[in-house]
Amino acid sequence: MNKPSVLRRILTTDLPVLLIVLLALGPFAWLVLTSLTPSAQIAQSGVSVSPSGWGVDNYVRLLRQTSFVANMGHSLIVALGTVVLGLTVSVTAAYAFSRFRFAGRRLIMLQFLLVNMFPVVLLILPLFILMRRLGLLDTHLSLILANATVAIPFAVWMLTSYVGAIPKSLDEAAMIDGCSRLMALRRVVLPLAMPGIISTGIYIFITAWNEYLYALTLGGRTVRTVTVAIQTLIGEYQIEWGLLAAGGVVGALPATLLFLIVQRRLIGGLTQGAVKG
């Protein structure tokens, strides 16, 4: 009786899961193998799957012959700035939406949701015109503001559900003891909502780090993020596949490591924030 059940589990569960994992990880594994294969060998015989043909020449060229390290610094500034701006606005807005009932509350929440339904490409032209008139093109601030337009609506929705799950009686008890509304927010609500805030901050950071369209349009020679820098590695007449793959690996490394380190907190925060809406 056990053999058919084991065979059925292998055919219906193990093999499909293995196939999905291979399809998901296959491109990333090929990217890493390409980055470890010297460019001359790629042109001659293709990507090497044997460790004997691997090397770090592409990574050395990437760090020495390009401005990739500076580009990563620009991406870090933009991502952290977006996190600070996004959380500052989202936390205060979420507290207001979860604690107060006012005219237009539901309409404003629906507008936040509608913003996420529009393709990002539709916002590029008005943002470009606005940043040009303000003199902010090719600056970190322009990219921070642009990324915040995408990050804040989702963050407000997520944090509103999370803060709404915190009993209002805690705020009232703190204000009875002498706290103002802002003090109750800082001393009572923020510590309890910290898992959700951290999860939202991680989401904003990863989104801003991987953003390409705003960085290409609103950035330039002075501010060039990692995503745009990787695209510039594609030449007009030839493509340095090894150098391009090395740039992709190095560019994805910070966001990947951050996700692996805090994945439990991120998943837990997203789940708890979805309990009550």
Three-class DSSP category at 234? strand
Dist. CA 79–CA 205, nearest whole Å = 5
246 CB-contact burial (10 Å; exposed 0-12 / middle 13-18 / buried 19+): buried
Asked if 200 and 87 touch (Cβ cutoff 8 Å), the reply is yes
Instruction: Return the structure tokens found at 1.
Output: 């009786």
Instruction: Return the structure tokens found at 219.
Output: 């950035």
Confidence of residue 272 (pLDDT cuts 50, 70, 90): low
pLDDT at residue 1, as a whole number: 47
HSE-CB of 102 using CA atoms within 13 angstroms: 9
Confidence of residue 147 (pLDDT cuts 50, 70, 90): very high
pTM (predicted TM-score): 0.83
Asked if 38 and 55 touch (Cβ cutoff 8 Å), the reply is yes
Average confidence (pLDDT) over 262-274: 58
What's the whole-number average pLDDT of the chain? 85
Least confident of 101-110, 188-197, 265-274: 265-274
Residue 264, pLDDT > 60, answer yes
Q: What is the DSSP letter of 51?
A: G
Tell me the per-residue pLDDT of 103-113, one tens digit each, with 9 for 90 and over. 888 888 888 77
Asked if 269 and 195 touch (Cβ cutoff 8 Å), the reply is yes
- For residues 251 and 48, the model is more confident at 251
Which range of 40-49, 150-159, 208-217 scores highest in mean pLDDT? It is: 208-217
pLDDT at residue 276, as a whole number: 44
- What would you measure as the largest C-alpha separation in the chain, in angstroms? 76
pLDDT at residue 4, as a whole number: 58
Listed by start position, the domains of the chain span 1-28, 67-232+234-273
Dist. CA 224–CA 191, nearest whole Å = 36
Dist. CA 120–CA 210, nearest whole Å = 14
- Whole-number Cα distances in Å, 153 to 37, 120, 189, 191: 42, 13, 20, 22
pLDDT at residue 13, as a whole number: 84
Residue 261, pLDDT > 90, answer no
CATH H-level, domain 67-232+234-273: superfamily? MetI-like (1.10.3720.10)
Dist. CA 129–CA 217, nearest whole Å = 11
Least confident of 13-22, 79-88, 161-170, 232-241: 232-241
Average confidence (pLDDT) over 135-151: 92
Asked if 112 and 53 touch (Cβ cutoff 8 Å), the reply is no
H-run or E-run covering 126 = helix 121-134
Average confidence (pLDDT) over 66-90: 94
**Which residue spans within 44-131 are E strands per DSSP?**
none
HSE-CB of 244 using CA atoms within 13 angstroms: 12
Share of the chain above pLDDT 90, in %: 29
Residue 163, pLDDT > 80, answer yes
Tell me the per-residue pLDDT of 14-48, one tens digit each, with 9 for 90 and over. 888 999 988 988 888 999 999 998 888 887 888 88
Residue 274, pLDDT > 50, answer no
Q: What is the DSSP string of 190-218?
A: HHHTHHHHHHHHHHHHHHHHH--HHHHHH
